[in-house]
């Protein structure tokens, strides 16, 4: 977003250009400065707006997405909401395929409010949670008007954060930071911001955070299903950009999300809580005078009924 903008052409103009906010109470005892980037200020309520508009507009430029097309994605929430939002602005249909066992009424309601069709699927069977991606692949291959955004493999998801999120961090800190912390979900934030920050200053510490109940980045061996898995995760592991991985349980992330609301007035979600827990741990280790930056991924409104650390 251009903060000097008086009249926007559409809500898409309000994506990005999110300022940093200093934590004044949480982590104060470390003597370090912890800065958070409240990405839930994006129009659909998460940092995935950056990714959704970048993927869709690149697909338009490449001729893969044309008027009357339907966008499909397998998603648990934030990417689905962002795609539904951008699709609504641009006039596309959007269908989200959501795993039945992790469906949450808040996330589903947000997608549906933007006009999305939401279809649940069972993760039982040989493909497990990849079943949703297989549905998307089959639809794209059999229906000429369907485009699958491929959030876990689309390199535009990385480019969006490298070209916008990271540049905002560098600009707003005058390039002076010691560590960046980000939860690992699809991997786009961690890889994109990490690439840009390491290029700016290779000594900046890049810390990945992930749920202890579902470790992906720290997993030693993963089965790659061609066309369905791998993608950004493989790129991230091969990049060597991540200096440290912190695994956190749900309770630590939930408690910090509550603290952020009650002590800092920041109404963010559970993965944001995990990011701040990891940022405080980094601050304790790095010590006074150091600056740690992290992103607050989404809004607390999608965790009213189910509080869990999912990315």
Q: Which residues are known catalytic residues?
A: 48
Q: If you ran DSSP here, which 8-state letter would residue 7 be given?
A: S
| Whole-number Å distance between alpha carbons of 257 and 277 | 9
| Whole-number Å distance between alpha carbons of 276 and 272 | 6
The order of strands in the sheet holding 93-99 is 117-121, 93-99, 70-74, 146-148
- CA-closest candidate to residue 281, choices 250, 251, 253, 261: 253
Contact 72, 139 (CB under 8 A): yes
Neighbours of 241 (CB within 10 A): 19
Apex 39 CA angle, 46 and 231, nearest 5? 60
Side-chain-facing half-sphere of 135: CA atoms under 13 Å: 20
Give the pairing of strands 291-296 and 33-38. Answer: parallel
The SS3 assignment for 181 reads strand
* Residue 145 burial class via C-beta count within 10 angstroms: exposed 0-12, middle 13-18, buried 19 and up: middle
The SS3 assignment for 168 reads helix
User: Bridge partners of 245?
Assistant: 208
Rounded to 5 degrees, φ, ψ at 254 are -65, -45
| Whole-number Å distance between alpha carbons of 278 and 247 | 9
The SS3 assignment for 73 reads strand
């Amino acid at each position: 977003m251009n903060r000097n903008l008086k009249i926007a052409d559409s809500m898409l103009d309000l994506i990005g250009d999110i300022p940093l906010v200093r934590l004044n109470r949480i982590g104060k005892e470390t003597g370090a400065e912890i800065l958070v980037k409240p990405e839930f200020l994006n129009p659909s309520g998460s940092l995935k707006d950056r990714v959704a508009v970048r993927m869709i507009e690149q697909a338009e430029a490449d001729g893969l997405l044309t008027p009357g097309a339907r966008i499909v994605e397998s998603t648990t929430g934030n990417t689905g909401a962002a795609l539904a939002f951008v699709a609504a602005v641009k006039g596309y249909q959007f269908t989200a395929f959501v795993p039945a066992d992790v469906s949450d009424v808040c996330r589903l309601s947000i997608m549906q409010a933007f006009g999305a069709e939401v279809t649940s699927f069972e993760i039982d069977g040989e493909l497990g949670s990849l079943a949703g991606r297989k549905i998307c692949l089959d639809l794209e291959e059999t229906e000429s008007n369907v485009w699958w955004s491929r959030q876990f493999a689309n390199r535009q998801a990385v480019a969006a954060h490298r070209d916008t999120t990271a540049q905002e961090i560098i600009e707003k800190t005058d390039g002076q930071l010691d560590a960046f912390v980000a939860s690992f979900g699809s991997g786009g934030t961690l890889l994109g911001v990490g690439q840009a920050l390491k290029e700016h200053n290779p000594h900046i510490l890049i810390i990945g955070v992930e749920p202890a109940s579902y470790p992906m980045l720290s997993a030693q061996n993963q089965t790659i299903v061609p066309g369905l898995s791998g993608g950004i995760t493989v790129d991230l592991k091969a990049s060597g950009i991540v200096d440290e991985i912190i695994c956190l349980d749900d309770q630590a992330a939930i408690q910090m999300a509550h603290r952020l609301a009650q002590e800092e007035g920041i109404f963010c979600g559970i993965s944001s809580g995990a990011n701040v827990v990891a940022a405080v741990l980094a601050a304790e280790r790095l010590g006074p005078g150091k600056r740690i930056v992290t992103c607050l991924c989404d809004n607390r409104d999608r965790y009213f009924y189910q509080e869990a650390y999912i990315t």
